């Protein structure tokens, strides 16, 4: 009897550390399409995202901790969810045109940011952001042998050759300057391609999250190649901005304000209760 009780205590302790997905019925519909709690009776929320590891990824534990936070918030409200992992520009297009309901994760969107999808529209005409939750910094990376004048002011790198991911929000000031031709911008469809461009001298700086860059280096290259990348490239200080992540709700979704309000409440509860940190920590401990 004592052994059974001990086993039960250990099992309950494990469940407290388990990923959010283990609390809900989930089903993989395709390589990059997943459903949660979709029993045909619940309101189905269609979300689009991208492969942005270590935050989101089809081959990550629980699809990554950010996905777990988002799905957990929806499940707590009784919704079903369909999560589709797409190239970023397509993920954005699906939500800005109302073909999907929620885009995540998104950085803060400047009021003057134009939509690349719908001509003549600001992004915030088409999307409304949730409350934010903590992420990593946004910063430049460079080659170690490259001397740059970056001092935290964009004026110090006017005309610089900079690699960005097409369609990503960066900082409001940087994006406005980029739009006005202040930098020599080279766009790529992914952070991985930007890393390769920087390594091979095709750009002098790239913009991104250092956790994403390091994860890409360790997972997409051989050990020898990764060592070479880390020996050649480095983050550039000061950081551009400390970032939060958001969900972007399509304003074309009927009834979206109620879903948004519910998610905001869930995010606040997860932050104050420590649940958000528990989900992140549990994901970091479990294996893909």
Answer whether residue 13 shows pLDDT above 80.
no
- pTM for the model: 0.85
Q: Give per-residue pLDDT as tens, 149-203.
A: 999 999 999 999 999 999 999 999 999 999 999 999 999 999 999 999 999 999 9
| Residue ranges of domains in the chain, CATH in brackets | 8-134+244-285 (3.40.190.10), 136-242 (3.40.190.10)
20-72: per-residue pLDDT in tens? 435 455 688 888 999 988 888 999 999 999 999 999 998 888 888 999 999 99
Contact by Cβ (8 Å): 177, 183: yes
């Amino acid at each position: 009897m004592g052994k059974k009780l001990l086993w039960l205590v250990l099992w309950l302790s494990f469940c407290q550390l388990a990923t959010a997905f283990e609390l809900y019925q989930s089903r993989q519909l395709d390589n990059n399409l997943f459903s949660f709690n979709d029993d045909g009776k619940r309101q189905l929320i269609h979300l689009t995202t991208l492969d942005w590891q270590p935050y989101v990824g089809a081959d990550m534990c629980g699809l990554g901790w950010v996905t777990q936070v988002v799905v957990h918030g929806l499940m707590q409200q009784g919704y079903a969810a369909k999560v589709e992992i797409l190239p970023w520009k397509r993920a954005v297009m699906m939500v800005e045109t109302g073909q999907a309901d929620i885009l995540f994760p998104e950085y803060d969107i400047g009021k003057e940011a134009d939509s690349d999808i719908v001509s003549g529209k600001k992004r915030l005409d088409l999307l409304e952001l949730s409350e934010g939750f903590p992420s990593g910094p946004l910063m430049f990376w460079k080659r170690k042998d490259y001397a740059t004048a970056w001092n935290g002011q964009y004026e110090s790198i006017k005309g610089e050759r900079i690699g960005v991911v097409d369609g990503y929000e960066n900082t409001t000031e940087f994006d406005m300057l980029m739009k006005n031709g202040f930098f020599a911008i080279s766009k790529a469809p992914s952070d991985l391609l930007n890393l390769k461009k920087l390594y091979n001298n095709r750009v002098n700086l790239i913009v991104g999250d250092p956790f994403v860059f390091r994860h890409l280096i360790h997972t997409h290259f051989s050990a020898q190649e990764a060592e070479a990348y880390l020996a050649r490239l480095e983050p550039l200080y000061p950081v551009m901005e400390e970032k939060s992540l958001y969900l972007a709700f399509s304003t074309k979704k009927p009834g979206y304000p109620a879903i948004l309000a519910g998610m905001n409440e869930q995010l606040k509860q997860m932050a104050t209760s420590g649940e958000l940190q528990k989900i992140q920590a549990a994901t970091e401990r479990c294996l893909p």
